[in-house]
Amino acid sequence: MEKIVLEIPDEILVSLKETPYEFSKDILMLAAVKLYQMGKLSSGRAAQLAGIPRVSFLQSLAKYGVPVLELTKEELRQDIENA
């Protein structure tokens, strides 16, 4: 597993009223959702990045305004194979 270090100004965490741990979980979820939306990650891999079960990831997509199924037949087949 690779580790990526981000420097976040304290003022950002204070403005968001989040701990570094909460913020890192948010960042991972947002990245997972965006990468899934862009078609760069399957739903299974995106869920893995977010650190949550695939079903939970799919259920949370509506919160971010991302449709669960906006895939071609071929993309859906690949998504299922990669899950």
pLDDT in tens, 23-65: 999 999 999 999 999 999 999 999 999 999 999 999 999 999 9
Q: Which residues, including other chains, have CB under 8 Å from residue 19's CB and lie 6 or more apart?
A: 13
Model-level pTM?
Answer: 0.78
CA 24 remoteness from chain centre: 12
> Is the per-residue pLDDT at 72 higher than 70?
no
Q: Which residues, including other chains, have CB under 8 Å from residue 71's CB and lie 6 or more apart?
A: 79
Distance separating alpha carbons of residues 21 and 16, to the nearest angstrom: 12
Between residues 45 and 76, the one the model is more confident about: 45
Distance separating alpha carbons of residues 80 and 31, to the nearest angstrom: 21
The domain ranges of the chain are: 10-82
